Structure 1
Amino acid sequence: MIKPFIEIIYLAMEDNAMLKLGLVGEKLSHSRSPEIHAKIMKQKGIEGVYELLEFPKDSFVEDFNALKESGFRGVNVTIPYKEAVLPLLDEISQQSKYIGAVNTVLFQNGKAKGFNTDYDGFISLLDHNKVAVKGKSAIVLGSGGSAKAVVKALLDLGIYDLTIVSRGKQNFHGNYTISYEFFKEAKIKSNLLINCTPVGMYPNEDASPVARQEIQADTVIDMIYNPEKTLLLKTAEELGLKAVNGSYMLLQQAAKAQEIWAENLPF
């Protein structure tokens, strides 16, 4: 059982105590974030700790607000709180306002400031895997916080045709959005199929957001990183398609978050 708050003994540095960081979410047993952030801090010579902070939905507001006074320098925010955290922040970066979701929070001078590093991480993932976007078509599965960052990145990179498939938010980006029922019937073809839902994530590794016959794309990207190969990606490889998981995005968004926490960044 992951304990939200673990007693930390601060290690003295020349000017400040060690950085106290964490990941806020509802269920975090699958997360690789502590391992990744520990490596980044070691490489940069930063003294710090990174905790998993499991907050239940019914106490999320109270638990998050308590972080401002608990000695944390910053936290990442993951499912299902990337949008729910917005009204709890004192300041939000312009990019995060446009995206409508925050995955990184800096606590500074008693205030909580929100950023979105998923955007940077996704663009890095595309570059790293040589996935072209400009003039292409894409289908995005999901309409949550991760999907919002992905959509903003795709639009900024010049995507030509974009379709968002959502179970609930039919007003997400207006006419771009279709229901899963329509998607299954339409058999839409695209250059990119991007899964931004948690379907297929550990421990539900036998699940896939779409059926085999519904994969009508050249490249399939699954933002999930645990397992490394989801059922969706395994099926894509069987079909001879390019298959990319979310590991590189996780690494790059974490590095960007570390920059925000380590520096005194103005808005």
Structure 2
Amino acid sequence: MTNLGNGLAELLDIGAKGAIHIGLLGRGIGASLSPTMHRQEGERQGIDYHYHLIDFDALHLGNENLGDIVDLLEKVGFRGVNVTHPFKQAVLDHLNQLAPDASEIGAVNTVIFDGGQRIGHNTDCWGFAESFRLGLPDSPRKHVLQIGAGGAGAAVARALIEVGVKSLSVLDTDAIRSQALAARMQDMGYSVNALTEIGALTGFDGIVNATPIGMDKYPGTPVAPKLLNAGQWVADIIYFPRETELVRRAALIGCATLPGTGMAIFQAVKAFELFTGRVPSREEMTRSFEAAA
């Protein structure tokens, strides 16, 4: 194992036996509300539950250290980890089993350590689908544009099909990535195509941002808001800030909007159940999120 520095020293002694320790692996995750939701639900259920942020930026770690971190956390007794940008696909190389949802999507955001097995799951898909069903229940779904085909984008694309989108177009700055996502979903019988550019947004019922653009670390919008019209809906997967520039500008135009808060809450609900074997209260986890946001 390479030298990972003093920043991870606290993880080498995770305390009392029987406690549940979970990590979140990602970059620029200091504002994440996952620790709050998980810790407070663990406390509500009387579980000795600990949730650690492992921010590769703050720890000055390279992407090549991902495998070392996964090895370390399993070794010291973590129950599992959540995985966020930019590791949802890269982590696949460090697992030895995938749940059916993760296998179909090709991306993982939850890993369970179980008796020497590292099992990858994807709770993002269910999280986005549940948020969409509640937040945009009557929205048109004939043709949708999704921007972003990375790990989160793969889950969102599958969720959009699940909630009834008939035709999905995917655009990514990496054309190979969008083509690969489209091809994988076409092989499963879904109507998905990859775009290399967009000239106008008028042909789409809705637009989904599945990129990091709009986060505090990556300010801006993935498309020019002036191209939107009031008859469209706009969804984002980013939840910090709670209202991205895209969502704010779309609402001003008159678009129905879906911020990333619902996906953030519901993916955590499903992940908590995987980590603990207990059904959490989505209402309490929502209250925890709302109070901390």
TM-score, normalization: structure 2?
0.81
Q: Deviations over 1:142-173 (max 9, x none)?
A: 00111111111122233112111111024231
Letter in 1 for 2:105: I
What's the counterpart of residue 188 of structure 2? none
In 1, Cα distance between the equivalents of 2:195 and 2:233?
20
Letter in 1 for 2:83: V
What's the counterpart of residue 102 of structure 2? 96
1:190-229 equivalent positions in 2, closer than 5 A: 190-205=204-219, 207-216=220-229, 218-229=232-243
Structure 2 counterpart SS, 1:190: coil
Misfit runs of 4+, over 6 Å: none
What's the counterpart of residue 34 of structure 1? 35
> Which residue of 237, 245, 265 maps to 2:259?
245
Structure 1 counterpart SS, 2:211: coil
RMSD: 2.1
What's the counterpart of residue 6 of structure 1? 10
In 2, Cα distance between the equivalents of 1:143 and 1:83?
11
Q: Conserved in 2, the CA contact under 8 Å of 1:134 and 1:160?
A: no
Cα deviation for residue 136 of structure 1 reads 2.7
Q: Conserved in 2, the CA contact under 8 Å of 1:69 and 1:110?
A: no
Q: Conserved in 1, the CA contact under 8 Å of 2:200 and 2:227?
A: no
Q: Do residues 146 (structure 1) and 146 (structure 2) align?
A: no
Q: Conserved in 1, the CA contact under 8 Å of 2:139 and 2:233?
A: no
Structure 2 counterpart SS, 1:98: helix
In 1, Cα distance between the equivalents of 2:135 and 2:276?
28
> For structure 1, which runs of at least 5 residues remain unmatched after alignment?
none
Q: Identity percentage over the alignment? A: 31
In 1, Cα distance between the equivalents of 2:153 and 2:202?
19
> For structure 2, which runs of at least 5 residues remain unmatched after alignment?
1-5, 57-61, 184-191, 279-293
Cα deviation for residue 120 of structure 1 reads 1.1
Relative to structure 1, is the Cα distance of residues 231 and 138 closer, same or farther in structure 2, using a 3 angstrom cutoff?
same
What's the counterpart of residue 53 of structure 2? 52
Cα deviation for residue 3 of structure 1 reads 3.6
Letter in 1 for 2:26: G
Letter in 1 for 2:228: I
Q: Aligned pair count?
A: 255
Relative to structure 1, is the Cα distance of residues 93 and 32 closer, same or farther in structure 2, using a 3 angstrom cutoff?
same
